Amino acid sequence: MDLSIVSFVQIIVSVLLVIALMVANAVVMVYIERKMAGFIQRRPGPYEVGPYGTIQAVCDSMKLLAKQVFVPGNVDWLLYFLAPVTAFLPVLLLYLPIPFGPYLTAMNVDDGILLILAFAGLGVVSNLLAGWASNNKYGVLGAARAVSQSVAYEIPMIMALLSVVFLTGSLNLTEIVDSQGSWPWQWNIFAQPFAFFIYLVSLIGETNRAPFDLPEAESELTAGFHTEYSGMGFALFFLSEYANMLLVSFVCATFFLGGWKGPFLDGFWWTFIKAYAIMVFMVWIRWTFPRVRFDQLLNINWKWLLPLSILNLWLTAAILKILSKIY
Amino acid sequence: MNASNFINPFSIREDEGSFAGDFYTRNFERQARKDSIILNLGPQHPSTHGVLRVLVELDGEYVLRAEPVLGYLHRMHDKMGEVKTPYQYLPNMGRVDYLHPIAWNWAFVGAVERLASIEPPKRAEYLRIISCELNRISSHLLWWGAFVLDLGGVTPILYAFEEREMINDILQIITGSRLTMSYFRFGGVCADCDSRFIKLTKDFIPYLRERLKIYKALVTDNIILRRRLEGVGPMDTDICLRYGATGPVLRASGLSSDTRRNIPYSLYDNFEFAIPAGPSNDCFGRYLIRLFEIETSLQIIEQAIESLPDGPILIDKAPKANYKLPAGESYFAVEGARGQIGVHLVSDGGKNPYRVKLRSPGFSNLSLFAEAAKGTLLADAIAILGSLDLVIPEVDR
Amino acid sequence: MIRAVWDNIKGLYSLIVGLSITARFLFSPQKTVHYPRKVVDPESLSSFRGPLELTPAADNSAQSRCISCQACVRACPGHCLTVVKGQGKAPIVWTYNFTLCCLCAACVESCPTGALRFSHKVYMVASSRQEMVLDLLSDLEKNAAVAND
C-alpha cells in the first residue's frame, strides 16, 4: 500500500468517523440498556430528561466530563492516567478492517481478522494497569480476574473464528462476507452452528459482560479494576467497554450472519441491524442471569468451550478435506 | 535488599508500632500470614446490606480467615428501654428490625403481657398472626431479591418488590405505616381490619402462589444459581446449636425447630403448618427453606383469615403511657423471619423497666459466618453472608 | 461423563426458560406509579399515618378540641410536641416537630378529647428543618378557611 496523501487522508477521516461511531454507540447503547433493564423490571427506565428520556445519556456524559479529576492517594500517577487511554486507543484501530457495507471499509487489509484479534488482546493491559495503579485491593483482584478471564476466552474465540476461516479460505473480512449469501440459510451460522455458539459465549466473556462480568463484579469487588476511577477516566473505560461490545458484535455479524448481506436489499444497514441485535441479546442476558463464580467461569472455558471448539475445528477441516477429494 | 525497606503496598502491618488502621485491623493483621491480602469488606460495601464490616484475609481469591466487625449501626435500643416507659418504648420495636417489625412488636408486647398477666382478646390474636405472617412473607421476599442481587442477578429484586409493595399496601390498612410498624398494643392491637383488608389478603394468596412458580423457573431452577449455591457453606446442626443459630439457618441444617411449635405462643397451636427441615445444609438448602416458609405463612394466613372471629381488638383499660409494670421479670420469644426473637424484661415496679434485653437472631446467625467462610472463595463468602439473611440494624440493635 | 454432558444440556435449557420469562416481562405493562403524573389511589391512604393534625371541634371547624392537658406531651417518646396553655383551656401555642416524630400514635391514643389525628399527607416535602416544625393551630384555621370557601 503506497502511503499517498489520499490514503493518509482516508485513514484520518475514517479514524474520526470511528471515534464518532464509538461515542454515538455509547450514547445509544446506554439508552437501550437502561430502557431495556427498565422494561424487563417493569419500570419506565430513564424518563424525565428529554422526550422519553432520550437525552439522559448525553446529560450523563456531560456530567462525567465536567466532574473533578479526582486522584486517590498513593497511586502510580503515570499508569493511573495511562490505563483509560490504553483502554480507548486500541479500539480505534479495531474498527478499521470491519466491512460495514459493500464499499464501506476503512482499510481493506488481507489479514483483517488477525489485526482485530491482535489488538483486541491489548484491552486487557488497560484493565491490568488500572487495577494495579489505583492502589486498591479490589482493583488488584479485579485486574487479576480480568487477565485470566480474557486470556482464557480469547482462545475459543479464535478457534471459533478459525473454523469459519477454514470454510472461506480467507482472513479478509470482506471476502468472508462475499462468500455468504443474502438469505439467512446461506449464512455461516448454519454451516457452523457450534462455532457460532462458542463465539457467542466467549464474546460475553471477552467483553466482561454479565453473567461473566467477574472483573467488575459489584457485589464482590465493588467495581473491580475501575473502583478508583471517576469522571473522565471512568467515562473512557465505559466508552471502550461499549465500543468493544459493538466490535465483537460486528465481527459476529460479519463471520456468522452474513455481514451487510440480507434479504431484499444488501447494504450497511444490515450490518448495523445484526450487530445491534446481538447487543440487545447481550443486554437481555445481563438482566436475566446471576453471575457465575470465577472457577466456574474458567471451567466453562477450559473444560467445555475449548475442547468443543477444537473438535469443531477438526471436524470442519476433515469434512472440507473429504469434500475437496470428492469434488 | 533490607527487609525493612520493602513496603508491601497492600499491607500496613510493617508499621506495627504506629497506629495505622483501627483496632480490629491491627489485631487481625497480627495473626495474618505475611503473603496474604487483608481486605476490609464494608462497612460501605454493596453486598453487606447496610453497614456490616467483615475483615477477610485472602490468599488470592480464597478466604483464609474472616471476622465480622459489628457496631456501626448500634442505636442503644436496650438502653432506651430503661429510660422510657414500656408504652413509649413500643415504636422502637419497629425500628430494631425494619424487615420484620411486627415480630419485634410481638416479642416486646408479649413480654409485657406475660409480666402483667394480660390476656389479649381472640380477634386481636388472629390479627396479630395474620399481620406477622404477612410481614414474614415480605421479609423473605426482600431477602430473596437481595440474595440473588448478591449473586449478580439484578432483576429478581424488582419482581420481589412488586409483591412486597402489595403486602405493604395490605399492612398499611391496619398498621398505618409501610416500614416501621407500631401496630401492637399491650392487650391487643391498635386498629381493626376492614373488609378491604380481608379482600386484598384473600386475593393476594393465590396471586403470590402463581408468582412463586415464575420465581422458581426464573431463579431456583437456573443452572448458574444452583451451581453457585449447591454445596457452598455447609453448616451442620452441631455448629448451628453451638453458635445459637435459629430460624431458617438451623432448620436448613436438618433440625426441625421453630418457636411457633417448640414454645407455642398465641394461637399458633390452632393452625396446621409444616415446619420443614432442610434437604441440605448448604446455601441452597437455606434458600429453599425460606421459599418454603413463604408457602407455610400463606397457609397460616389462609386458615386465619377464614376463621377470623368477631369481638374487641383491645382489652378494656389497656395499659397506656403512664402504665407501671409490676415488679418481676419475664421472657417472651417469637419466631421472626430470621429466627428466634426474644425479649427479656426486668421490672422493679418503677415507671420504666429496670432492664430490657433484646435477643436478635441475626447476631447469632452472623457468628456462624467466620467459621463457614473459612477456605471458601470470595464469591462464596458473599453467598454465605447473603444466605444468613442479615439485617444489620437488628444485629447491632 | 455422559451424565455431566446431560446435566449441562439441561442447564442450558433452564437458561432459555429464564430468558423467556424476562422476555415476557419485557413486554408486560409497567408497575411504576410515576409520581408527578400519577398518584396512588386515595382510598388506599384512608388509614395512612401522615403528620399529625388537630381535629376540629364539632361546632366550630376553626376551633380545636384541645384542652391543654399535656397528656400527649407526656406520652410522646420523641418529645416532639409543645402545647402552651392560654387563658382558659384552649391552647395558644401548638407546635409539632415532624422531624422528631415516629408516628407511633401514643399522643393520639392518650388524648382524652380526641383532639389529635393523623393526616393522610403522603406528598409532604420540606427544604429545611424549620419547615418541618408545624404550627398545628394555624394549619387548622387554614383548613377551616379552605373548607368554608
pLDDT for res B346: 92
pLDDT digits (tens, 9 = 90+) for B37-67: 888 887 877 777 778 888 888 888 889 888 8
Angle between helices A5-40 and A268-286 (to 10 degrees): 40
How many Cβ contacts (< 8 angstroms) between chains A and C? 35
pLDDT for res A207: 84
Cis peptide before B43 (omega within 30 of 0): yes
Q: What three-state secondary structure class fits B156? A: helix
CB contact (8 A) between residue B228 and residue A296: yes
Q: Are residues B210 and B120 in the same domain?
A: yes
CA distance from start to end of chain C? 83
d(CA C48, CA C123) in angstroms, rounded, equals 12
pLDDT for res A262: 79
pLDDT for res B21: 66
Question: Which structural domain, as residue segments, surrounds residue A155?
Answer: 71-326
Asked if the C-beta of C34 comes within 8 angstroms of chain A's C-beta atoms, the answer is yes
Q: Are residues B24 and B38 in the same domain?
A: yes
pLDDT range class, residue B10, cuts 50, 70, 90: low
CA distance B340 to chain C (A): 25
- Domain final residue, candidates B72, B93, B109: B72
Asked if the C-beta of C9 comes within 8 angstroms of chain A's C-beta atoms, the answer is no
Q: Mean pLDDT throughout A277-293?
A: 89
Question: Which structural domain, as residue segments, surrounds residue B13?
Answer: 1-72
pLDDT for res B3: 47
- Lowest-confidence pick of A156-160, A321-325, B27-31: B27-31
pLDDT for res B2: 47
* The C-alpha cell that represents B62 in the structure block: 480464597
Q: Mean of the per-residue pLDDT values for chain B?
A: 85
d(CA A153, CA A158) in angstroms, rounded, equals 9
Whether A1 is covered by a domain: the verdict is no
- Asked whether the predicted pLDDT for residue B14 surpasses 70, the reply is no
Q: Are residues B293 and B210 in the same domain?
A: yes
- Asked whether the predicted pLDDT for residue B32 surpasses 80, the reply is no
pLDDT digits (tens, 9 = 90+) for A2-59: 567 877 887 788 888 888 888 888 888 889 889 998 898 888 888 888 888 888 888 8
Cβ pair A161, A173 in contact under 8 A = no
**Hey, which chains touch B, using 3+ CB pairs under 8 Å?**
A, C
pLDDT for res C45: 82
Nearest-CB residue to A290 (from B10, B61, B228): B228
Q: Are residues B52 and B81 in the same domain?
A: no
Cβ pair B104, B93 in contact under 8 A = yes
CB contact (8 A) between residue A36 and residue C26: yes
Q: What domain count does chain B have? A: 2
pLDDT digits (tens, 9 = 90+) for C44-78: 788 888 888 888 887 777 778 888 888 888 888 88
In the β-sheet with B355-359, what is the strand arrangement from edge to edge?
A: B328-335, B340-347, B355-359
Nearest-CB residue to C105 (from B173, B190, B214): B190
* CATH among 2.160.20.10, 3.30.70.270, 3.40.630.30, 3.30.70.3270 for C42-148: 3.30.70.3270
Q: What domain count does chain A have? A: 1
We report the CATH number of the domain holding residue B276 as 1.10.645.10
d(CA C8, CA A181) in angstroms, rounded, equals 34
Q: What percent of chain C has pLDDT above 90?
A: 0
Nearest-CB residue to A40 (from C22, C32, C34): C22
**If residue B343 lies in a helix (H) or strand (E), which one and from where to where?**
strand B340-347
Q: Are residues B153 and B281 in the same domain?
A: yes
- Domain final residue, candidates B40, B56, B72: B72
pLDDT for res B207: 92
Residues of C whose CB is below 8 A from A287? 22
Q: Are residues B14 and B113 in the same domain?
A: no
Residues of C whose CB is below 8 A from A304? 8
CA distance A326 to chain B (A): 44
Best of B77, B82, B83, B87 to substitute, by most chain C Cβ atoms within 10 angstroms, is B87
Whether A48 is covered by a domain: the verdict is no
**If residue B38 lies in a helix (H) or strand (E), which one and from where to where?**
strand B37-41
> Are β-strands B62-69 and B37-41 bridged in parallel, bridged antiparallel, or unpaired?
unpaired
Q: How far is CA B162 from CA A44, A234, B141, B208, C88, in A?
A: 14, 33, 10, 10, 53
Best of B88, B204, B322 to substitute, by most chain C Cβ atoms within 10 angstroms, is B88
Q: How far is CA A140 from CA A69, A121, A208, C137, in A?
A: 21, 19, 16, 61
The percent helix, strand, coil of chain C (3-state, each to 5) is 35, 15, 50
- Asked whether the predicted pLDDT for residue B18 surpasses 60, the reply is no
pLDDT for res A123: 80
Q: What percent of chain B has pLDDT above 70?
A: 95
Best of B36, B55, B151 to substitute, by most chain A Cβ atoms within 10 angstroms, is B151
Q: Mean pLDDT throughout C67-94?
A: 85
CB contact (8 A) between residue B221 and residue C47: no
pLDDT for res B139: 92
CA distance A98 to chain B (A): 33
> Between B61 and A184, where is the model more confident?
B61
Q: Is A280 exposed, middle or buried (0-12, 13-18, 19+ CB in 10 A)?
A: middle
Q: How far is CA A78 from CA A98, A116, A136, in A?
A: 32, 27, 16
pLDDT digits (tens, 9 = 90+) for A222-251: 777 888 888 888 888 888 888 888 888 988
Q: Are residues B55 and B194 in the same domain?
A: no
* The C-alpha cell that represents A159 in the structure block: 478457534
Whether A263 is covered by a domain: the verdict is yes
pLDDT for res A186: 79
pLDDT for res B138: 92
Whether A50 is covered by a domain: the verdict is no
Q: Are residues B102 and B23 in the same domain?
A: no
CB contact (8 A) between residue A296 and residue B150: no
pLDDT for res A3: 62
C-alpha A132: how far from its chain's center? 23
Q: pTM for the whole thing?
A: 0.88
Domain ranges of chain C: 1-31, 42-148
pLDDT digits (tens, 9 = 90+) for C120-141: 888 888 898 888 888 888 888 8
Q: What three-state secondary structure class fits B67? A: strand
CB contact (8 A) between residue B379 and residue A135: no
Q: Mean of the per-residue pLDDT values for chain C?
A: 84
Asked if the C-beta of C20 comes within 8 angstroms of chain A's C-beta atoms, the answer is no
CB contact (8 A) between residue B176 and residue C49: yes
CB contact (8 A) between residue B180 and residue C110: no
pLDDT digits (tens, 9 = 90+) for A48-64: 888 888 888 888 888 88
Q: Mean of the per-residue pLDDT values for chain A?
A: 84
Residues of A whose CB is below 8 A from B61? 141, 294
* Half-sphere exposure of residue A269: CA atoms within 13 angstroms, side-chain side: 5
Asked if the C-beta of A284 comes within 8 angstroms of chain B's C-beta atoms, the answer is no
Residues of C whose CB is below 8 A from B163? none
Beta strands in chain A (DSSP E): none
**Hey, which chains touch A, using 3+ CB pairs under 8 Å?**
B, C
pLDDT for res B1: 41
Q: Are residues B39 and B104 in the same domain?
A: no
d(CA A315, CA A302) in angstroms, rounded, equals 19
- Asked whether the predicted pLDDT for residue B7 surpasses 80, the reply is no
Cβ pair B384, B233 in contact under 8 A = yes
Count of CB atoms situated within 10 Å of the CB of C141: 17
pLDDT digits (tens, 9 = 90+) for C27-39: 888 888 888 888 8
pLDDT digits (tens, 9 = 90+) for B365-377: 888 888 888 888 8
- Domain final residue, candidates B72, B102, B124: B72
d(CA A38, CA A45) in angstroms, rounded, equals 4
> Between B333 and B25, where is the model more confident?
B333
Whether A18 is covered by a domain: the verdict is no
Residues of C whose CB is below 8 A from A210? none
- Asked whether the predicted pLDDT for residue A98 surpasses 60, the reply is yes
